[in-house]
Chain A
C-alpha cells in the first residue's frame, strides 16, 4: 500500500502523515537540484520527532540532489549523516535501487 503525498510536501505534513499512517518506509523524490538543501532540512525535522517510531522510520531519498549533478561526492555522505537511511543519485537504475533498499 502506497500513500502518495504529492509535490512540494511541507515538513510538518510529512511528519504528521508518518505519525498517522505509520508507514514501513518513506520514499522521497527530488528533481529540481535542491535535494541537498531541502532533503537535509526535512530529514533532520523527521529524526528530531519525540515519538521514536516516527523519528526512526526508514527514509530513502533519490533524484537530482544538487544543481551540478553527481560531481560532488560529498552530497551523499552529507545527506546520510543528516539522517537518511539510503540516498540514490538520479543515475541509479530503478530495479537495482529497489533491490538495494530492500536488502
Chain B
C-alpha cells in the first residue's frame, strides 16, 4: 500500500502576502513544549484561533546553546524545558506532530542560537524551512561566542538552509531578529540598521525570502516612524528578486503585571503594526510578566491582537500612517550606520564584526565582549528613546537631551513601559507615554 504524500505545509511568505492583500495582520505567538503531543496540540490551537495566524515552534534554551546532553536527559526523564528540543526528538517524531497540524498553518522555528547549524539541520530533517535570528542579534545578547564565529556559523547555516529547501522544492525564509537587540532601551536607528544589515547578510548567503523585524518600544509614533524607515531602507538596499515583509514584536522588555496593562500594551502594538505597515505581529500575553504563557493565554492574545489590528484601520485610531510619519531622522541615522558598517568589508559578516570591534556599531547595555559598550540609550521626557551616549558611532552630534544614565535612572527606565501601561489601564495617564 502506498501512502499519498502529505499536502505541503503553507509557506509563511505567501500566507503573509495573501493576508496583507486583504488588509489583515498576521499574528503569531511564541510557543515551545518539550512533549511532542503538547507541541502538536498547541500548534493545532493556533491554527484554530479566530485570527490569521502563523504557528511557532520555540526551541528550548539548552538546544540553543548546543548543550544537547541536558536536552536529551530532559526528554528521557520527561522533564519540562522552556521549549521544544528539536535536535533531540527524532525527525519522525517532529514530522508526526506536524502531520496533526492543519497544513494551511505555516510553522516557523524560533531558536535564539548564536550557532544555528544543528537547529537548521533538525528543521531540514523534519521538513521545516522557516526560521529567524541573525549573526549579531542571536550572538551579542544571548551568547558568549565571539561574533566572528557566530557570523561564520550563520553563513554556513543560511547557505545550507537555502540549498536544502531548494532541493526539496521549498523556499527557505529567515526573519531578522536585529530589530530587537536587548529588547529595550536601544534607540530605533540602530535597531533598524541592524535589522537591515542582517537582512543583507541573509541575502548574501542565498536567502530570497526574508522578513525584517522591529520591536515596539516606548513611544507609538516613534515606533511607526521606525517601521517606515525600515521599509524605505529595505526598498533601497534589498535586491528586487528578494521578497520581504516587516514584522513587529510586541514590547520585549519588562512587561506590565496587570492583565489590563498587558492588554493595553498588546493593543498598542497591533495598532503600531497596522499603521506602520508591518504585515505580521509577534504577540505577548497577559502572563508575560509572570511565566511562560499557556496555550489558552496565547490564543487569547492572538485573537485580541487581531481584533485590535482591525480596529486600527478605522478613523478613531490617532496614530499616523507610515506615509504620514516623519521618519527622516531615524532613516538618516540608520543609513549612516549601515553605510559605515558596509564600508568595512564587502562580506557582510566580516563588515559586521569589524564594525562592532571599532565601535561603529555599539549596542547600549550589551555586555558581550565584542560589543564596545560605550553607548547609552535613554527615555526622554517626551517618552521617545534617545541617545544619551553615542560612543564611537558616526552619528551627528546633537544636543545630548540633557540625559545622563545613573543606576537609579536605569532601573526606572527598565520599568517605564510596564508602569505606564499598568497605570494607563487604570485611566491614569503618564506624560509622554501614551500619546493616543
Chain A positions near chain B (C-beta within 8 angstroms): 4, 6-10, 32-34, 37, 64, 66-71, 90-91, 94
Chain A residues lying within 8 Å of B411, measured Cβ to Cβ, are: 94
Task: Confirm or deny: B89 has a beta carbon within 8 angstroms of a beta carbon on chain A.
Answer: no
Q: A91 touches which one: B70, B290, B292 (CB < 8 A)?
A: B290
- A7 and B61 contacting across the interface, CB-CB below 8 Å: no
Report whether B143 and A4 are in contact in the complex, using a CB–CB cutoff of 8 Å. Answer: no
Rank and list the top 8 A-B pairs by shortest CB-CB distance, nearest first.
A69-B291, A33-B82, A6-B367, A69-B290, A32-B61, A67-B292, A67-B82, A4-B367
Q: How would you classify the secondary structure of chain A's contact residues: helix, strand, loop or mixed?
A: loop
A10 partner residues in chain B, CB cutoff 8 A: 144
Of A6, A67, A94, which is within 8 A of B144 by CB?
A6
CA of A52 to CA of B291, assembled, Å: 36
Beta-carbon contact of A67 and B61 below 8 Å: no
CA distance A30 to B276 in the complex (A): 34
Enumerate B143-167 residues with CB–CB distance to A below 8 Å. 143-144
Give the residue of A32, A64, A67 whose beta carbon is less than 8 angstroms from that of B80. Answer: A67
Interface of B is mostly: loop
List B residues 365-380 near A (Cβ within 8 Å): 367-369
By the criterion CB–CB under 8 Å, are B292 and A6 in contact?
Answer: no
* A7-B290 Cα distance, complex, nearest whole Å: 21
Residue B141 at the A interface, CB < 8 A? yes
Contact, CB under 8 Å: A64 / B144: no
Q: Which of A6, A34, A71, A90 is within 8 Å of B61, CB to CB?
A: A34
A-B pairs with beta carbons under 8 A, tally? 47
Contacting residues, chain A, for B292 (C-beta < 8 A): 33, 67-69
- Specify the chain A residue showing the minimal Cβ separation from B369: A6
16 contacts between A and B (CB under 8 A): A4-B367, A7-B142, A7-B144, A32-B61, A33-B82, A33-B291, A33-B292, A34-B61, A34-B62, A34-B81, A34-B82, A37-B70, A66-B291, A69-B291, A70-B291, A94-B411
Q: How far is the CA of A82 from the CA of B78 in the complex (A)?
A: 22
Assuming A37-B70, A69-B292, what are 15 further A-B pairs, CB within 8 angstroms?
A6-B144, A6-B368, A7-B142, A7-B368, A8-B65, A8-B142, A9-B144, A10-B144, A34-B81, A34-B82, A67-B80, A69-B287, A70-B290, A90-B289, A90-B290
- The 0/1 profile, CB within 8 Å of A marked 1, for residues 47-82 of chain B is 000000000000001100100001000000000111
Q: B81 to chain A: which residues have CB within 8 Å?
A: 34, 67
Residue of B nearest to A69 (CB): B291
> Within the complex, which residue of A8, A32, A33, A91 is in contact with B143, where a contact is CB–CB below 8 Å?
A8
Q: B285-308 CB contact bits vs A (8 Å, 1 = yes)? A: 001011110000000000000000
**B residues near A37, Cβ cutoff 8 Å:** 70
Chain B residues packing against A (C-beta within 8 Å) = 61-62, 65, 70, 80-82, 141-144, 287, 289-292, 367-369, 411
B291 touches A64 (CB 8 A): yes
| CB closest chain-A residue, reference B70 | A37
Taking CB as reference atom, which chain B residue is nearest A6?
A: B367
Nearest chain A CB to B423 CB, angstrom units: 16
* A8, A10, A37, A94: residue with the most chain B Cβ atoms closer than 10 Å: A8
Q: Is the CB of A67 within 8 A of B291?
A: yes
The complex places the Cα of A10 from the Cα of B61 at a distance, in Å, of 14
B291 lies within 8 A of A68 (CB): yes
- Chain A residue contacts of B287, Cβ below 8 A: 69
- In the docked arrangement, what's the CA distance between A67 and B411, Å? 24
For B142, the chain A residues whose CB sits under 8 A away are 7-8
- Bound-state CA distance A62–B61 (Å) is 18
Q: Separation in Å of the A68 CB from the closest CB of chain B?
A: 6
The CA of A86 and the CA of B289, in the complex, are separated in Å by 21
Cβ-closest chain B residue relative to A95: B411
| Residues of chain A contacted by B141 (CB below 8 angstroms) | 7
Q: How far is the CA of A55 from the CA of B13 in the complex (A)?
A: 53
What are the residues of chain B within 8 A of A9 when measuring CB–CB? 144
CA distance A50 to B275 in the complex (A): 61
B30 to chain A, nearest CB (A): 12
A90 to B291, CA, bound (A): 9
Q: Is the CB of A8 within 8 A of B144?
A: yes
Smallest beta-carbon distance A90→chain B, Å: 8
- Complex contact A7–B367 (CB within 8 A): yes
Shortest distance from the beta carbon of B365 to any chain A beta carbon, whole Å: 10
Nearest-Cβ distance from residue B58 to partner chain A, whole angstroms: 11
CB-CB < 8 A to A90: which residues of B? 289-290
Cβ contacts under 8 Å, A68 to chain B = 291-292
